[in-house]
Structures are given as structure tokens and as C-alpha cells.
Amino acid sequence: MFEAVATGLLSVVAWPAVGWLGLGVLIGLYFGAVPGLSGLVGMAILLPFTFGMEPVSAFAFLLGMFAVTTTSDTIASVLLGIPGTAASQATIIDGYPMAMRGEAARAFGAAFTVSAVGGLLGAIVLGISIPIVKPLILSFAQPEFFLLGVLGLTMVGSLSGGSMVKGLVAALFGLTLSYVGYSVTGGTPRYWLGLTYLLDGIPLIPVVLGLFALPEILELAVRDTSISRVARDQAGSSIVHGMKDAARNWWLVLRSTAIGAYVGMLPGLGGAIVDWVAYGHVVQSSRDKSMFGKGDVRGVIAPETANNAMKGGALIPTVAFGIPGSASMAILLGALLIQGLQPGPQMLTTNLHITFSMMWTLVIANVAGAVLLMIWGQQIAKVTFVRGHLIVPVVCMFVFMGAWLSNNSPGDLATVLIFGVVGYFMKQGGIPRPPLVLGFILGPIMEDALHITAEGYSWSDLATRPISLIIVAIILAALVLAARARIRERRSENRKRFAETETWDPRMSLLTLVLIVAAFVYSLVPAISWPADSGRIPIVTAIPGLALCLLALFETFRAFAGREDAAAALELPVLLRAGNFFLWLAGLGLATVIAGQLVALPLFMALYMLAWGGYSWRLGLLYAGGGAVFLYVMFERVVAVIWYPSLLFS
């Protein structure tokens, strides 16, 4: 055992493996920082380059890239309020408010420190757990996977907004959207509106970018403000400050590492909910909850620790049992087979040194990535004080290209615009957006688990599964504790409000809830006549969704009656400028169809700088020229994207 550990370390730090590891780390930092790119995209791009490599070098390259994407994704989550990857959804709840307070550097210092520690300890847990995890993983069956999905939705729904009811409505709405396309189990086409594009379901990346990116950059454009709402000389935060926060919360770091490592082992589910489980844990276990959602550094520490520790746990079912827990792990499984390695007992016996080389790769990559980002973090944080009009065009470029990478279809551009409007309505209406995304991700997993559970287990079987009973108890406890906390807050003069729902317009809330009610009704009516394997899960989702919508509408009418102190109507000029901005984005989509991205995006940049920013035409042309060069180099030469075949150019 110890010989395999030492051999694995020596093989990783030897040349050329260490060189490939360093290159993978640099690529991973970029892919994690840019919204729309991710570890999955990076794995798919880098896999062909591993042909002909030695196994240790190949896995050093792939895992070095993959390990740090959940470290650098903090940049977009904190600076822009956009999840850089799916693993950083919970980070935006407190990370973005910290940036708005001028404390982005502090958030970076805490996040990068705990990312290194979480990745290091998660990899060690991987090494220690290899001999003992098989019974743990095999004890989880489909009933437990379904209940874990419910637990994740409960956590995010009750903890990501000022109203627990609205949070749960958003989570169920996300589940409903995930049912678009062919059903996972019955093969019935559902809610596809006669559009072939929707038969495979709504793609995730345009949904996330539309929900989170467009409302935030609209805020910068319409209000002509920087990300930080305080002046630079009043901020006073630093990377070192965040590192001290991480050290003070060492016990939370250890607990979040355990959550990340062991929840991450669950194939297909762990990575989707691990940051929310960690965030829910820190909120429920903290005595002082007053700052959560407004910029509490503990709300950054817990999910960032867990989502880096998760990488070590996610490797175990892939390497030890050949069960890839995610699309990224499926690519890694392919890399194993390409190298002539068979997942299973061989990776724990004769090839144990290669398994430990993967562990050491995770350790070195996480530490190296965190150190590099801490060196650059103070400079990156200065972006929060830059005028918003200088940020908006380049973020729009990343948003539209990130959405395009999903399916290389014009439907992706329409999707990002539609969900941009939905995200703006939800934000202004006080309905939290993170629950929607988690529900959307978990929908197919929960549908498959529910179908197998309903067909293969009786109620008596479920009543004798101790793990299921424990998860049910945790779900009920989470709901009771969240409800009690809401009741205490309503009776308190100092009510806690999350930044996501701190002030909201009751008119926007009413409009959004009515649209969600219509969506639930539209999903429920045809599902009644479908076969059980296709209609069961939409019915199970829509009925409680409609009931919760009625409660949410009651809360909204209280606001109309003047009994809700968080309600604040939007000014008409702001709404008009917001509508004008979305028309500009629609024009960008139309220009893409006519002239293609290489023409439309730089043209949008130049016109935006002139019309919205009020800058000179020279600066506008220089800005657009830089954008055109970046587009060509990054997306033509590196990513090799398939450009839209425009009407004017080939």
C-alpha cells in the first residue's frame, strides 16, 4: 500500500508528467473562469491529445485541468453572480453580495484557500476510503437517489431566498422544465411545442447563462454602475483577509470536506447537490444567521470546500467500479480504456500505483491552482470597481459564445434570451433563481430513480431501508427548521433577507407566479393521459407546485396591501431601459443569423461602447477589434467551434 502511494507520487512529479500536469492546471483555470466553458468541455477537448501518452501523463493532463475548474469558477460566481460551473451555484448567494460590498478580494482569499484544503483533504479521503467504500456505494439504490434529490431541492429551496415558499416553487418549476423532450423512461415526446430543437430537452448552459448572466449585466448597463456599490478606497478587503477567515473557520472546512468527499461518491447525483448540502449545513448549524445571503464569508467557505473535495470522491466509483458519476467521469472512463486499463479490481491491486497517481494529481493541481489564483486574485478583484459599460460587451460575448457551444444551434441563442427575461422577472419579483437550476439538473436523475422505485419496490420494502428513512428524517428536519426560522424572522424587527430577494416588486412577482402557474397547468393536463412511466413525474411535480404557487400568491397580495416591508416597485424608466437592453440583445441574435458571430459580436461591442457607454469611436473600434481577435484565436484555433452558417458569409 505505502509502496504504491510513494510510486504514484514519484511518477506524477517526474518529467514529463509534471509538465503535462502544469499545462492542464493552466487550461483548467481558464475553462473554469469563463461561463459556458467547464471541466466537461475541457475533458472533451483534451482527450484526443492523450492518445499515445503514458497513463500517468495522460491522467495528470486530464485531471490537472478538471481539478481546478471548481476553483477558478469562483471568479464568475463572485464578480458577476454567474455560476462559472454547476458546482458553484451556492457560492453566488454570498459571494456576489460580497463583491457588491467591495469585498471580492476577501471572498477570493477565503474561496481559494479552502479550495486548496478541500481538494487536498478530499484526495486523501479518496486514498483512505478505497478499501472501505464499496459497501457504502452499493448500499445506495434508486430510492435513496430520489430522496437525495428531494433533499437537495429542499435545501436550496428553503435556504436561497427570503421566502421558503417561493424557493420551493422555483425548484419545482426547474423540475418541470427538465421534462421537456423525450421522457427518460417511456420515450414519450413531452412539451416540445412542435420544435425539433426541444426533442432532446432544453440545454443546460443557455438556461444558466440566461438566468444569471443577463439580469446581472443588464443591471450594470441600465444603472451605469460598477459591480461594487462602494468606492474602491472604502472597500478595504484583501486576499489575506479571506485567508484568515478560512483559518478561523477550520472546523467548518473539515465538516464541508467530509460532506464533499462522501456525497461526491454517489454516482450521478453527488456533484449536483454537494455544494447545496454544504451550504444548507452551514446555515442550519450557525447560531448567527443574519448575514447569510447578504455576504457572509461562511456561505462561500462551505460550498467551495465541498465542491473541491467532491472531485476525489467522484473518482472512486469511476475507477473502482467502472460507474461514471457524471459526463466528465464518463470521459475519464474512456481515457482509462484508451490506456488499456480496466476499471475495477485491477485498479485497486496491480494498477494501484496509477490510482494513487490520480490522487496525487488532484492534490498537486488543487494546491497549485489555488496558489496561482491567490497571486492573481487581488488584481482580478479590481474588476469590481471598473465602470460597468466596459464589462458588459465582453461578458455578452462570453454569454453568447458559451450558449452557442451547447448545441451549435440558433435555438441556443433564443434559449439564452428567453431565460434572460425569465431570470430578470424572477430577480425583480423576489423569486430565487438557484433552486430552478438545481431542479433542472436533478430532473432526469429523479425521474429515472422514481420510475425504478415505483416499479421495483413496495411500500414495505421502502419502510425497511434504513438509509431511506434517515434521508426522509433529514428532509423533514430541514423543512421544520427552515419554517421555524421564517416564523421567528417574521416576528423579529430585524428580518433576514437574501440579496437575491432583498427588495422585490410585487407586480413582477405576481406576473412571474402567474406564468409559473400556467406552466404547471400546461404540464399537468396532458400528463394525466400519458402512460405512467412518462406522466408520473410531471404529475408528482405539478400538483405540489400549484399548491405552493397559491401560497406564494397570497404572500404577494400581502405586499400589495402594504404589509410586506421588502416590496418596492421598480421605476418606469428602469423598466423601459431594461426592455431597450433586451431589444439590443435580440438584435445581436438577429445579426448573428445574418452575418455570423465573428461579425455580429464585434459590431455589437463597438455600437454598445458608442451608444450606451458614450465612449469615442476610436475606443469602440479598439475594443471591438480586441474582441474579434480573441474570438478568432480562442474559438476558431483553440476550441474549434462550428460557427453559425450566416446568410451573408460562409
Please write the tens of the pLDDT for every residue from 241-267: 888 888 888 898 888 888 888 777 766
d(CA 624, CA 634) in angstroms, rounded, equals 15
Higher pLDDT, 31 or 174: 174
Lowest model confidence (mean pLDDT) among 396-400, 476-480, 628-632: 476-480
Fill in the DSSP letter of residue 266: S
Using pLDDT thresholds of 50, 70 and 90, give the confidence band for residue 544: very high
Q: What is the pLDDT of residues 139-179, one digit of tens each?
A: 677 787 788 778 777 776 666 555 778 888 998 999 999 99
Beta carbons within 8 Å of 78's beta carbon, 6+ residues apart: 91, 92, 95, 96, 98, 99, 104, 107, 108, 111, 300
Beta carbons within 8 Å of 330's beta carbon, 6+ residues apart: 324
Q: What angle do CA 223, 586, 627 make, to 5 degrees?
A: 75
- DSSP structure string for 63-85: HHHHHHHHHHTHHHHHHHS--SS
Helix (H, G, I), strand (E, B) or coil at 284: helix
Closest to 180 measured CA to CA, from 357, 418, 398, 481: 418
CB distance 534 to 188 below 8 Å: yes
d(CA 20, CA 15) in angstroms, rounded, equals 9
Q: Please state the three-class secondary structure of 575-606 as a single string.
A: HHHHHHHHHHHHHHHHHHHHHCHHHHHHHHHH
pTM over 0.85: no
pLDDT at 424 over 60: yes
Fill in the DSSP letter of residue 570: P
Cell of 291: 448575514
Which amino acid, one-letter code, is at 585?
A: L
d(CA 216, CA 291) in angstroms, rounded, equals 21
Lowest model confidence (mean pLDDT) among 106-115, 147-156, 214-223, 304-313: 147-156
Q: Which residues does residue 504 pair with via DSSP β-bridges, in sequence order?
A: 567
Q: What is the pLDDT of residue 360?
A: 83
d(CA 606, CA 621) in angstroms, rounded, equals 6
Q: What is the pLDDT of residues 48-90, one digit of tens each?
A: 777 778 888 888 888 888 888 878 888 888 887 777 666 677 7
Cell of 254: 473539515
Closest to 402 measured CA to CA, from 227, 597, 201, 179: 597
Q: What is the pLDDT of residue 44?
A: 67
Beta carbons within 8 Å of 163's beta carbon, 6+ residues apart: 430, 486, 501, 552, 555
**142 Ramachandran zone, left/alpha/beta (phi>0; psi -120 to 50):** alpha
Q: What is the pLDDT of residue 603?
A: 93
Helix (H, G, I), strand (E, B) or coil at 645: coil
The rounded percent of the chain whose pLDDT value lies above 70 is 84
d(CA 393, CA 510) in angstroms, rounded, equals 32
Q: What is the pLDDT of residue 488?
A: 67
Q: What is the pLDDT of residues 262-305, one digit of tens each?
A: 777 766 565 667 787 888 788 877 877 777 777 888 888 988 88
Cell of 333: 472512463
Fill in the DSSP letter of residue 189: E
Mean of the pLDDT values across residues 448-453?
83
Q: What is the pLDDT of residue 132?
A: 66
Using pLDDT thresholds of 50, 70 and 90, give the confidence band for residue 213: confident
Using pLDDT thresholds of 50, 70 and 90, give the confidence band for residue 563: very low
The rounded percent of the chain whose pLDDT value lies above 90 is 11
CB distance 395 to 80 below 8 Å: yes
- DSSP structure string for 399-411: HHHHHHHHHSSHH
d(CA 489, CA 506) in angstroms, rounded, equals 20
Residue spans per domain, the chain: 2-560, 572-638
CA distances from 625 to 529, 599, 603, 617 (A): 56, 11, 9, 12
pLDDT at 501 over 50: yes
d(CA 508, CA 420) in angstroms, rounded, equals 15
Closest to 610 measured CA to CA, from 591, 626, 625, 624: 624
> Sign of the CA dihedral 102, 83, 85, 279?
positive
Beta carbons within 8 Å of 216's beta carbon, 6+ residues apart: 80, 81, 82, 96
Beta carbons within 8 Å of 46's beta carbon, 6+ residues apart: 24, 27, 61, 62, 65
Mean of the pLDDT values across residues 609-628?
90
Q: What is the pLDDT of residue 584?
A: 92
d(CA 600, CA 592) in angstroms, rounded, equals 5
pLDDT at 422 over 90: yes
Lowest model confidence (mean pLDDT) among 108-122, 337-351, 360-374, 444-458: 337-351
CA distances from 251 to 28, 245, 283 (A): 29, 12, 14
Q: What is the pLDDT of residues 465-495, one digit of tens each?
A: 888 888 888 888 877 777 776 666 665 544 5
CB distance 602 to 400 below 8 Å: no
Q: Which residues does residue 35 pair with via DSSP β-bridges, in sequence order?
A: 37
Mean pLDDT computed over every residue of the chain: 80
Cis peptide before 602 (omega within 30 of 0): no
Using pLDDT thresholds of 50, 70 and 90, give the confidence band for residue 421: very high
- DSSP structure string for 496-520: ---GGGSSB-HHHHHHHHHHHHHHH
d(CA 521, CA 534) in angstroms, rounded, equals 16
Using pLDDT thresholds of 50, 70 and 90, give the confidence band for residue 232: low
Q: What is the pLDDT of residue 560?
A: 67
Cell of 83: 455560476
Q: What is the pLDDT of residues 304-343, one digit of tens each?
A: 888 888 877 777 777 766 666 566 776 777 777 777 777 6
Lowest model confidence (mean pLDDT) among 24-33, 390-399, 531-540, 556-565: 556-565
- Phi, psi angles (nearest 5°) of residue 504: -150, 155
Cα 76 to chain centroid distance, Å, stands at 11
CB distance 589 to 418 below 8 Å: no
Helix (H, G, I), strand (E, B) or coil at 205: helix
pLDDT at 524 over 90: yes
CB distance 512 to 426 below 8 Å: yes
pLDDT at 530 over 80: yes
Q: What is the pLDDT of residue 514?
A: 93
Using pLDDT thresholds of 50, 70 and 90, give the confidence band for residue 431: confident
Q: What is the pLDDT of residue 364?
A: 87
Q: What is the pLDDT of residue 419?
A: 93
Using pLDDT thresholds of 50, 70 and 90, give the confidence band for residue 460: confident
Which amino acid, one-letter code, is at 411?
A: G
d(CA 305, CA 279) in angstroms, rounded, equals 10
Closest to 66 measured CA to CA, from 50, 44, 82: 44
Cα 36 to chain centroid distance, Å, stands at 10
d(CA 610, CA 619) in angstroms, rounded, equals 9
Q: What is the pLDDT of residue 268?
A: 58
Q: What is the pLDDT of residue 321?
A: 64
Closest to 389 measured CA to CA, from 626, 627, 613: 613
